[in-house]
Amino acid sequence: MKQPFFYGKDKLTVQKAISLAEGGLEGKLDPDVIGRIQQSQQHIQHMADTNKTVYGVTTGFGILANTRINDADTATLQYKILQSHSVGVGDPVPLDIAKLMLITKVHALAQGYSGIQLSTLQRILWHIEQNVIPVVPEKGSVGASGDLAPLAHLFLPLIGLGEVFYEGKRYRTQEIFKQFSLQPIQLGPKEGLALINGTQFILAFGIKAVQRMHNCLEAADVIGAMSLEALTGTKAPFDERLHQLRPFEGNTLVAQRLRLLLADSEIMQSHMDCGRVQDPYSLRCMPQVHGASRNAWKHLKDLVEIEANSVTDNPIVFGEDDTISGGNFHGQPLALPLDYACFASAEIGNISDRRCYLLLEGKWGLPMLLMNNVGLNSGFMIPQYTTAALVTENKTLCFPSSADSIPTSLGQEDHVSMGSISGRKLNRVIDNLEFILAIELMSACQAIEFRRPLKSSALLEGAHDFVRQFAGFAEEDRIFADDINSIKNIISDFSFVRKVNELAQSLGIKLNEGFEAYQ
């Protein structure tokens, strides 16, 4: 039996949001939450019935906020807002992103400040439970009045319009309604506005980025340690005493992980008195560089979880005649940390590429280009071209979207966050980062085998053996794209990090002990 999660009541974390999307938790509404939802809806209905001037209930939207809507057109107004704001373009967002949008929207609306009908929330829950996921174009939000265009597309199916994905196929909503014997719902006062005001598009990309970036950070420490071993680097720069003198938490955590990953290594012991004074920065400064990116990740995670438990539509309903039209929908609180995390992710790729380059130079006992018979063979020279290309592409994606603002709605919405672009760009950078890390991992595994018969630590040997299930040692050139894709897959599906963590647990090694907030 699945563990329940109560929308509008329980705290929504990144982990729980992902679990809801993957079906590990079952989302429900408890009686107290249902009562709040119904009371809020009654307040809005009262305002509509008494013809109060309330933005989006008896008025138009945006620059039309001062245009009165008569009683007869109240329902039509909510229907039209979904139609008029469905202006998204581009490819559909991934299904897990659209599903996270549904999940986070339900959680926000269920807190009882939005005037939504219970039946509307129940229909959204049906979409989540049945995996009937709306088609949401990726482009069109400026991240200010909420993610208006993507949220409008997300909720078109409620009124029988738009398209959905179901069981791997794309359908017109009406086709699915016939299959399930469903009818479109009738939106009440303010409901269309409540559905499309909010930051759930930005938030969904933020949740996914928190999960994926953490995985890359964990992988980067392991892969970096393997490269250091292959290059016979020293673990002295990871000494705990050194990092107590500059105690940034991310730095301290990475130094701890590197000490544990390298413990009891035969390779490390073999060159203790080699006379090398200092390693290049990409080896020596892993705690400072990886650690800074960890700090950025932690900042993003904290703010994403605040947003996930917030009410971000407009106006907010506090009582029968008590609404406030404010700016909780503005995406700036997430736009800035998403851009920061974008730089931080790109830097992990940047330092990884530098280690790839070091592995090819033919120094410290390694063959040039990591292959004995070069000339006829190009060895591992060309995979580093790919890391160089990906690193540069990531640099071009690092212009902060949040630094831009273009007025909309004839100046009514005169400052916008562009946070939707920040979220999309961050995930594109992580796409590239996974490939960069895969190429470093492929190269480090190749290089470590030139240190035989010496062995690395039990953890790094386990990581090496796991990779060898997917890509073998290269005696000569082959189509390395196949190896890169295979290794990238074990990074992006989390199995590489999971394998290292399982091995650490079996050995009684606690890689992240004392840093629970970074999990």
d(CA 85, CA 94): 21
Q: Does residue 74 surpass a pLDDT of 90?
A: no
Q: Does residue 371 surpass a pLDDT of 90?
A: yes
Q: Does residue 63 surpass a pLDDT of 70?
A: no
Banded pLDDT at 65 (limits 50, 70, 90):
low
What is the predicted pLDDT for the residue at 71? 67
d(CA 189, CA 58): 8
d(CA 65, CA 55): 6
φ/ψ region of 84 (left if φ > 0, alpha if ψ in -120 to 50, else beta) reads: alpha
Q: Does residue 369 surpass a pLDDT of 80?
A: yes
Q: Which of 229, 305, 413, 434 is catalytic?
A: 413
Domain 205-315+327-518 carries which CATH code?
A: 1.20.200.10
- As its CATH architecture, domain 3-198 has Orthogonal Bundle (1.10)
Q: Which of 55, 201, 205, 480 is catalytic?
A: 55
**Do 188 and 44 contact (CB within 8 A), yes or no?**
yes
Q: Does residue 477 surpass a pLDDT of 80?
A: yes
Alpha helices in 263-402, H assignment, sequence order: 266-270, 281-284, 286-308, 332-360, 381-396
Q: pLDDT exceeding 70 applies to what percent of the chain? A: 98
246 part of the active site: no
Cα 287 to Cα 210, 243, 247: the distances in Å are 20, 9, 11
340 part of the active site: no
d(CA 305, CA 200): 12
Q: Which of 46, 123, 172, 284 is catalytic?
A: 284
What is the predicted pLDDT for the residue at 60? 66
Q: Which of 329, 466, 496, 518 is catalytic?
A: 329
79 part of the active site: no
Q: Does residue 186 surpass a pLDDT of 90?
A: yes
Q: For the residues 493-507, what does the mean pLDDT come to? A: 98
Q: Which of 43, 85, 330, 424 is catalytic?
A: 85
Q: Per residue in 13-54, pLDDT tens? A: 999 999 999 999 999 999 999 999 999 999 999 888 887 777
**Do 112 and 39 contact (CB within 8 A), yes or no?**
yes
Banded pLDDT at 456 (limits 50, 70, 90):
very high
Amino acid at 376: L
Q: For the residues 473-501, what does the mean pLDDT come to? A: 98
Burial of 367 per CB tally in 10 Å (0-12, 13-18, 19+): middle
Mean of pLDDT over the chain: 95
- pTM beyond 0.75: yes
Give the β-pairing of 25-28 and 3-6.
parallel
Give the β-pairing of 169-172 and 163-166.
antiparallel
What is the predicted pLDDT for the residue at 24? 97
394 part of the active site: no
d(CA 375, CA 354): 23
> Regarding predicted confidence, which is higher, 51 or 136?
136
**Do 84 and 64 contact (CB within 8 A), yes or no?**
no
Banded pLDDT at 445 (limits 50, 70, 90):
very high
Domain residue ranges of the chain, discontinuous segments joined by +: 3-198, 205-315+327-518
55 part of the active site: yes
What is the predicted pLDDT for the residue at 411? 81
Q: For the residues 366-383, what does the mean pLDDT come to? A: 97
d(CA 192, CA 158): 10
What is the predicted pLDDT for the residue at 208? 98
373 part of the active site: no
**Do 301 and 100 contact (CB within 8 A), yes or no?**
no
Q: Which of 22, 175, 276, 281 is catalytic?
A: 281
Q: Per residue in 284-305, pLDDT tens? A: 999 999 999 999 999 999 999 9
Which contacts of 26-33 are long-range, i.e. CB under 8 A and separated by 24 or more positions?
Answer: 26/2, 27/103, 27/106, 27/125, 27/128, 27/129, 28/4, 29/110, 29/118, 29/121, 29/122, 29/125, 30/6, 33/6, 33/7, 33/8, 33/9, 33/110, 33/111, 33/112
Q: Does residue 340 surpass a pLDDT of 70?
A: yes
85 part of the active site: yes
What is the predicted pLDDT for the residue at 72? 66
What is the predicted pLDDT for the residue at 254? 98
